[in-house]
């Protein structure tokens, strides 16, 4: 089945992806002024577009200006100017592939020094040991806030289509808001959004329905879902199987499987679970189980760096191979695979015992490479993680000052009506 990697993938909406290789979302945290995509992001996506993927999925775009996972996050809400997003979509499609916008709300995964709101299904804060204080203490969302957030996702999806994107991916993994609602460890509600899995999945399902109703039938709608949270008593593979079945009647094109959260960063290859200790395709064993019963095509992301591994993933029945870090180091990797070549460099490993700090350093390394690509420079994958983390922290401090200056100018009705 070695040729399948470069065969088209038709989706139920009528969209057709040019091949089975996708750039998975990475949190670039590279927004310019006004939390908008600027020349940096456009240059980065042009480079990826030329690299041979059938699909580019953007880093998470925030649906709520007062809730950002990082101070340089991109925001697309009802007030954002559309021009920069039109340019972003054009850049991402300049190589002939498709582009989907990942849309997200961070919920409780918001740094303590950020302005705005810290919401969750319940008032359960992050447990990161001595790093817990780095994140805000969440307040439990009201019914009105939940309903307003559903609307926000639909507005962002409709505006993404208007800007020229080919689809959206709703982020319900990695411990962000929708993943928090799905998790029995975080969601302690006793109302319609808590308790049973059907209740915990209610917000996600409502968002999918609202998004599907707000966009054209030919516009792709995908969901990113944890195959497992890798926390005892948390969202597990059986829960994932049931949620995929719930999504099938709602017009979803594809489900991307990943895993972990800030508390257990399995998506970085540093989980607290033996099933993901393999150096590549962290979640393949779980995906093999899910693909047997899944009524929807699945995409697998996490630790895929070689063509042989990608083909093994497809041989398991997974429809689409997602790569993130590998494309931050080698942006033309799919084109290399077509030519029978592999990446000649790998990112320097982070073997720190503090898993939360190691995860942050690993993400800083990836962002360091993305910024180099955006400037037209070659990636430097041997950059020391401590250096990358220091540079990242400096840039984030600058971005935080810009965000603090910008946010009061857009609060408007939200400041007058804090329940929404």
pLDDT at residue 72 in the model: 96
- Tell me if residue 95 falls in helix, strand or coil: coil
pTM metric for this prediction:
0.92
Q: Residue 418 falls within a domain, yes or no?
A: no
Among 118, 112, 126, smallest CA distance to 66 is for: 118
pLDDT at residue 284 tops 70: yes
Q: Predicted confidence band at 236 (pLDDT cuts at 50, 70, 90)?
A: confident
Close Cβ partners of 226 (under 8 Å, ≥ 6 residues apart): 172, 173, 174, 179, 182, 235, 240, 257, 258, 259, 260, 261
Domain assignment present for 106 = yes
Identify whether 210 is part of a domain. Answer: yes
pLDDT value of residue 288: 86
d(CA 105, CA 63): 6
pLDDT tens column, 318-337? 999 999 999 999 999 999 99
* pLDDT score of 3: 53
Query: Cα–Cα distance between 178 and 204 in angstroms, integer?
Result: 6
pLDDT of residue 46: 98
Cite the beta strand spans of 259-378 per DSSP E: 298-301, 320-323
Segment 20-31 mean pLDDT: 95
Tell me which of 161 and 286 has the higher pLDDT.
161
Across all residues in the chain, what is the average pLDDT? Answer: 90
- Would you state the pLDDT for residue 116? 94
What average pLDDT does the segment 89-104 reach?
98
What is the pLDDT, as a whole number, of residue 289? 86
DSSP-assigned states of every residue in 17-65: ESSSEEE---------GGG---HHHHHHHHHHHTTT-SEEEPSPEES-T
Instruction: Assess whether pLDDT exceeds 80 at residue 378.
Output: yes
* Confidence band, pLDDT 50/70/90 cuts, at residue 38: very high
| 420 assigned to some structural domain | no
SS3 6: helix
Is 391 a member of any domain? yes
Rounded Cα gap, residues 117 and 290, in angstroms: 35
Banded pLDDT at 237 (limits 50, 70, 90): confident
Q: What is the pLDDT of residues 50-81, one digit of tens each?
A: 999 999 999 999 999 999 999 999 999 999 99
pLDDT of residue 276: 38
Please indicate, yes or no, if residue 374 is contained in any of the structural domains.
Answer: yes
Q: Residue 275: its pLDDT value, please?
A: 41
**Average pLDDT for residues 212-216, to the nearest whole number?**
98
Confidence (pLDDT) at 413: 47
Q: Is residue 284 in a domain?
A: yes
Return d(Cα 388, Cα 107) in angstroms, integer: 26
pLDDT surpasses 50 at 270: no
DSSP string, 287-313: HHHHHTT-SS-EEEESS--SHHHHHHH
Whether 181 has a pLDDT exceeding 50, the answer reads yes
Is residue 266's pLDDT more than 60? no
The residue behind tokens 């180091």 is: 329
Reported as a pLDDT band with limits 50, 70 and 90, residue 371 is very high
Q: Quote the number of domains for the chain.
A: 1
CATH of the domain at 290: 3.20.20.70
| Across 305-329, average pLDDT | 94
For the segment 392-413, what is each residue's pLDDT rounded down to a tens digit?
999 999 999 999 999 999 876 4
What is the residue whose two structure tokens read 């808590």?
194
Least confident of 92-106, 229-243, 264-278: 264-278
Return contacts of 383-386, CB within 8 angstroms, 24+ apart.
383/348, 384/348, 385/348, 385/350, 385/352, 385/358, 385/361, 386/361
Residue 6's domain comprises 2-413
């Amino acid at each position: 089945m070695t040729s399948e990697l470069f065969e088209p993938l038709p989706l139920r909406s009528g969209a057709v992806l040019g091949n089975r290789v996708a750039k998975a979302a990475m949190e670039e945290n590279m927004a310019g002024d006004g939390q908008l995509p600027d020349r940096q992001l456009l240059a980065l996506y042009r480079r990826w577009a030329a690299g041979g993927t059938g699909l580019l999925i953007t880093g998470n775009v925030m649906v709520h200006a007062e809730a950002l996972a990082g101070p340089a996050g991109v925001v697309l809400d009802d007030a954002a100017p559309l021009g920069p997003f039109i340019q972003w979509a054009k850049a991402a499609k300049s190589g002939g592939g498709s582009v989907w916008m990942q849309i997200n709300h961070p919920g409780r995964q918001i740094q303590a020094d950020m302005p705005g709101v810290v919401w969750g299904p319940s008032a359960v804060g992050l447990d990161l040991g001595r790093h817990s204080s780095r994140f805000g203490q969440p307040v439990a969302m009201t019914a009105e806030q939940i309903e307003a957030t559903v609307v926000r996702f639909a507005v962002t999806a409709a505006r993404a289509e208007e800007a020229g994107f080919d689809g959206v991916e709703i982020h319900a993994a990695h411990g962000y808001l929708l993943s928090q609602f799905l998790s029995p460890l975080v969601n302690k509600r006793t109302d319609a959004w808590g308790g049973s899995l059907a209740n915990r999945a209610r917000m996600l399902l409502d968002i999918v329905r609202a998004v599907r109703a707000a966009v054209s039938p030919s516009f792709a709608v995908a969901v990113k879902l944890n195959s497992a949270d890798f926390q005892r008593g948390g969202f597990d593979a059986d829960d994932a199987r049931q949620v995929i079945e719930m999504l099938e009647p709602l017009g979803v094109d594809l489900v991307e499987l990943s895993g972990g959260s800030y508390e257990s960063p399995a998506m970085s290859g540093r989980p607290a679970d033996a099933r993901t200790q393999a150096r590549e395709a962290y979640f393949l064993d779980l995906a093999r189980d899910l693909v047997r019963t899944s009524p929807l095509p699945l995409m697998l992301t996490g630790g895929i760096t070689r063509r042989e591994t990608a083909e093994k993933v497809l041989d398991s029945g997974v429809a689409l191979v997602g790569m993130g870090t590998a494309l931050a180091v080698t942006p033309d990797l799919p084109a290399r695979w077509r030519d029978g070549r592999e990446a000649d460099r790998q990112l320097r490993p982070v073997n720190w015992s503090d898993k939360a700090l190691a995860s942050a350093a690993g993400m800083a390394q990836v962002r360091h490479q993305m910024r180099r690509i955006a400037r037209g420079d070659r990636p430097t994958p041997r950059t020391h993680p401590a250096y990358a983390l220091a540079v990242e922290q400096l840039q984030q401090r600058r971005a935080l000052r810009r965000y603090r200056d910008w946010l009061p100018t857009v609060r408007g009705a939200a400041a007058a009506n804090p329940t929404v």
